[in-house]
Structure 1
Amino acid sequence: MALMMIAAVLAVMISAALPMLVAFLAVGLITHSRRRRAALRRGGSAGTVPLAYRPPVPPRPVAPPWPQARARFDMLRREYAAYECDPMQVLRLPALSDVTVPSTGRFVEAFAEAQALETDSPPAHTHAAAFVAAVDRAERAWRAARDAAERIRLSGLSPAERGTVERVIKLLTTARDSDSDAERLTAYAMARSELAKLDRAGVIHLPRTAQATLDAAGRGQLPA
């Protein structure tokens, strides 16, 4: 009789607690499901929930290739100087020293811009990037100016002017190749005289560096 009463009491207690147990389990499942979805949205795995959201660290900016750009600009400067110091090159490609030719004018502007941005030591990131871009433009402009000068050559001169220029080139070739000091100095003197006429007529304008080379050669010194 006693066992029956105890069993009856236990049945009543279990029946009363069962709804609460079911509700507790349901709340737990819902909470777990919400945490799982939140973890997936934040990039976590299905079985983990990140403690806190951490935004991705932005990559460090890459330093512009300033040393390489400076080396390229030095090479460009040497190539440009070699042209301006060589009367023979100027006579063969006069458009490359004439800033009224559009391609030459663009190169001179791009070269001056790069030269203004050049520094002896690595500058700040923004300045370095501007210098690298300016060197790129100067190199492209130099190639375009040389290509245009190769196409033009002496085509803009009259037949008489072309004949004078070709005669000066022959004189300079003789002066360069001759083993005789007297013949060499005479050829340089005649070439300088003819170039002076072309300069006064506005046909050919030698850069000052090329003129200095001729002047030194005319005084018996080796040309630069």
Structure 2
Amino acid sequence: MAWFLVPAALVIGGSAMAFIMILAVIAILAWVAVPVLVAGTTAGLIAHNRRRHAALRRSGAAGMAPLGRRYPPPPPRPVPPPWPQARARFDRLRQEYAAYECDPMQVLRLPALADVTVPSTGRFVEAFAEAQALETDARPAQAHAAAFVAAVDRAERAWRAARDAAERIRLSGLSPAERGTVERVIKLLTTARDSDSDAERLTAYSMARSELAKLERAGVIHMPRTAQAALDAAGRGELPA
């Protein structure tokens, strides 16, 4: 039996040795291959990231502005209307206001527009005075011009509001007797304007002025000085009917 066990031991011993050698070879290959694989993977990831960032820069993806891109300039600030236009608008307003103040018939039909105790009329008179104080013959400095333009805007709005209020009020704030007197004065002025007879015209003006004086003394009508002067001149025959 001894002769049989020796060869078997050799065979078993040789197999173990071969197995150990195979393990050693595998360990050596793993020790060499793993760093190579890691290096290759790292290089691949770096290359992938570089390609991705380049694509993002080209496409302008959110969060990454393309190289060399410039943002648009902010929108310009609103510019107020030019000063010459504001002057022209204020001239038209002044003419419209003067036409009212110089016409006794308009004052009698819209008495609230001549009464500064009416809130809307008082606001207009203040706004008109402010614009008039800022008005200049030559173009002023930019700040002054802007203030004038704004004042003209306010005066125009106040004028429209005052006229609308006067149209609504008309003679509603007067007593029946006062309304009757105002209506009689309007008829007399209409007769004086339309009459072809100088005597009739002058008589109608004289009677209208007498009735109007009573209304003014009672505080019913606030006749502007310009309207009163026009009425006096017409009553003296200085102006054509």
Alignment TM class, shorter chain as reference: 0.7 to 0.9
| 2:202 aligned residue | 185
**Of the candidates 76, 80, 93, which is equivalent to residue 64 of structure 1?**
80
Q: CA deviation at 1:65?
A: 2.4
| 3-state SS, counterpart of residue 171 of structure 1 | helix
Q: CA deviation at 1:59?
A: 7.9
* Greater CA drift, 116-125 or 57-66: 57-66
Quickly say closer, same or farther: Cα 1:223–1:110, change in 2 above 3 A.
Answer: farther
Q: Does 1:120 align with 2:120?
A: no
- Match among 159, 162, 167 for residue 179 of structure 2: 162
Q: Post-superposition shift, 1:76?
A: 0.4
Distance 1:55 1:121 in 2: 41
- 1:195 aligned partner: 212
How many residue pairs match? The answer is: 205
Letter in 2 for 1:120: D
**Aligned-partner Cα distance in 2 for 1:176–1:72:** 31
Provide closer, same or farther for how the CA distance between residues 110 and 142 of structure 1 changes in structure 2, counting only shifts above 3 A. same
Which of 52, 72, 77 aligns to 2:94? It is 77
2:166 is equivalent to residue 153 of structure 1: no
Q: Which amino acid in the other structure matches residue 98 of structure 1?
A: D
Q: Note the C-alpha offset of 1:223.
A: 5.8
Alpha-carbon contact 1:114-1:131 (below 8 Å) kept = yes
Assess, with a 3 A threshold, how the Cα gap between structure 1 residues 62 and 148 changes in structure 2: closer, same or farther.
Answer: closer
Tell me the distance in 2 between the aligned counterparts of 1:116 and 1:60: 31
Q: Which runs of 5+ in 1 are unaligned?
A: 1-33
Moved more, 193-202 or 59-68: 59-68
Q: C-alpha offsets along residues 79-106 of structure 1, whole Å, 9 cap, x if unaligned?
A: 0000000000000000000000000000
Q: Which whole-Å CA distance do the structure 1 matches of 2:76 and 2:222 have between them?
A: 51
* Structure 1 segment 125-136 matched on structure 2, within 5 A: 125-136=142-153
TM-score (norm 1): 0.74
Q: Does 1:141 align with 2:141?
A: no
Counterparts of 1:223 and 1:57, CA distance in 2: 65
Residue 92 of structure 2 aligns to a residue whose secondary structure is: helix
Equivalent residue, structure 1, for 2:236: 219
Identity of aligned residues (%): 84
Displacement after TM superposition at 1:64 (Å): 3.5
**Given that residues 63 and 125 in structure 1 are in contact (C-alpha distance below 8 angstroms), is that contact kept between their aligned partners in structure 2?**
no
Partners of 1:216 and 1:223 within 8 A in 2: no
Shift of 1:221: 1.6
Q: Are 1:96 and 2:110 counterparts?
A: no
Poorly superposed stretches of 4+, deviation over 4 Å: 54-63
Please say if residues 213 and 223 of structure 1, whose CA atoms lie closer than 8 Å, have aligned partners that are also in contact. no
Calculate the TM-score normalised by the size of structure 2: 0.70
Q: CA deviation at 1:126?
A: 1.1
1:83 to 1:161, Cα distance in 2 relative to 1, 3 A: same
